[in-house]
């Protein structure tokens, strides 16, 4: 068994640890924000952590109303610019806490008057030392180069940050995230069978919308890292603004399609792709009956509430929805005879400026 698969399976426990250990520490930060709310937020990250930051941007704006942007680290590192960050909240996200340019943004932001928060899996990292406040991801050591449990841990940490910023998120709702992750893991046998179908795939478009746009980016990254597949993530809105023109018969398109605010747009896109005879793989949940399984391959997450299947609130879909994608990337790598733990040319910590 690959380390990547082991770590994918560890996610419910890792999420439970993160929530259990960090929620009590966030009360003080919540009180601080009540007295001194930031004017806007900026998130800085690279790689998988940058995909988590995309989620954070949507989450903070939707759940707190706080304007939020993604940092361009080269503005700080290569151009030496000094943006006006007084009154800002700058959040750096890094699995290792040693991403050179992300830490540079964090350090410069403090100099420029911003309040800084670090989200990392390493309590003794440079990031944890630089940030004024730290939200730790308690995922344990991640040995596979392809990040999985730290990605969902970062999403959990961003939920905690949103709660501290006053979002109407119940801690009880957050405590259900490990159970949603465990339920998503039950799709593994189905995913393994589907991966056989795609073993000769060389390129793919991955589409999400809203909170799951980050998952489209992350699924694409995992396919590129572990399977050497040319993959690109799109918002469904952006996909219709041009990229759909490349879709012809049997072209692979993978889609995240939860029931909720984004479902109407995703349903319309699925209909357009069906007319083009695209090869679609749709990740949804068992309670969403609007997807026509005759036109595509389906991964229906079997999420239960009491004795019935249910669609989780859209706000809480990104963690359970990314898990089938992680399983798929791992299984496809094995089908292609590749080692998902050791992607060519990559190391666990990447330092750039």
Give the whole-angstrom CA distance, residue 319 versus residue 170.
Answer: 16
| CATH at residue 75 | 3.40.50.10490
Question: Using one digit for the tens of pLDDT, what is the confidence trace for 153-167?
Answer: 999 999 999 999 999
Say yes or no: 127 and 243 in one domain: no
Residues of the domain holding 111? 3-175
Cβ atoms 56, 8 nearer than 8 A? no
What integer pLDDT is reported at residue 348 of this predicted model? 54
> pTM value?
0.95
pLDDT at 226 over 80: yes
- For residues 115 and 89, give the distance between their C-alpha atoms in angstroms, rounded to a whole number: 5
Cα(270)–Cα(291) distance, integer angstroms:
8
User: What's the pLDDT at 232?
Assistant: 97
* Domain final residue pick, 146, 175, 204: 175
Average predicted confidence (pLDDT) for the chain: 93
Mean pLDDT to the nearest integer, 228-248:
95
**Residue 10: per-residue pLDDT:** 98
Instruction: Note whether residue 295 is domain-resident.
Output: yes
Query: Is residue 312 over pLDDT 90?
Result: no
Domain identity same for 148 and 225 = no
Cα gap 219→324, rounded to integer Å: 10
**pLDDT at site 300:** 84
Q: What is the pLDDT of residues 98-132, one digit of tens each?
A: 999 999 999 999 999 999 999 999 999 999 999 99
Q: Has residue 349 been placed in a domain? A: no
Q: What is the CA radius of gyration of the chain?
A: 20
* Cα separation, 165 vs 158, whole angstroms: 10
């Amino acid at each position: 068994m690959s380390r990547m698969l082991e770590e994918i399976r560890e996610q419910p426990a890792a999420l439970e640890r993160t929530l259990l250990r960090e929620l009590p520490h966030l009360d003080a930060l919540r009180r601080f924000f009540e007295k001194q709310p930031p004017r806007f937020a900026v998130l800085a990250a690279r790689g998988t952590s940058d995909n988590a930051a995309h989620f954070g941007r949507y989450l903070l704006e939707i759940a707190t109303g706080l304007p939020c942007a993604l940092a361009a680290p080269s503005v700080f590192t290569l151009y030496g610019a000094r943006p006006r960050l007084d009154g800002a909240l700058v959040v750096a996200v890094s699995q290792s806490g040693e991403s050179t340019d992300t830490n540079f943004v964090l350090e410069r932001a403090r100099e420029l008057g911003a309040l800084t928060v670090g989200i990392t899996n390493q309590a003794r990292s440079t990031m944890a030392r630089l940030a004024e406040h730290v939200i730790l991801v308690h995922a344990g050591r991640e040995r596979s180069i392809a990040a999985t449990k730290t990605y969902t841990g970062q999403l959990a940490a961003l939920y905690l940050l949103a709660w501290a910023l006053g979002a109407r998120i119940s801690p009880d709702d957050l405590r259900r995230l490990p159970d949603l992750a465990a339920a998503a893991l039950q799709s593994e046998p189905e995913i393994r069978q589907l991966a056989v179908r795609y073993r000769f795939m060389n390129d793919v478009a991955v589409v999400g919308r809203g909170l799951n746009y980050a998952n489209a980016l992350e699924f694409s990254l995992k396919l590129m890292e572990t399977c050497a597949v040319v993959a690109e993530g799109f918002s469904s809105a952006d996909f219709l603004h041009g990229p759909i023109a490349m879709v012809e018969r049997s072209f692979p398109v993978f889609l995240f399609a939860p029931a909720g605010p984004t479902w109407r747009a995703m349903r319309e896109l699925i209909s357009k792709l069906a007319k083009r005879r695209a090869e679609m793989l749709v990740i949804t949940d068992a309670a969403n009956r609007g997807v026509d399984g005759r036109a595509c391959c389906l991964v229906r997450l079997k999420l239960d509430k009491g004795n019935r299947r249910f669609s989780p609130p859209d706000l809480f879909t990104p963690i359970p929805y990314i898990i089938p994608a992680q399983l798929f990337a791992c299984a496809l790598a094995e089908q292609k005879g590749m080692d998902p733990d050791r992607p060519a040319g990559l190391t666990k910590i990447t330092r750039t400026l």
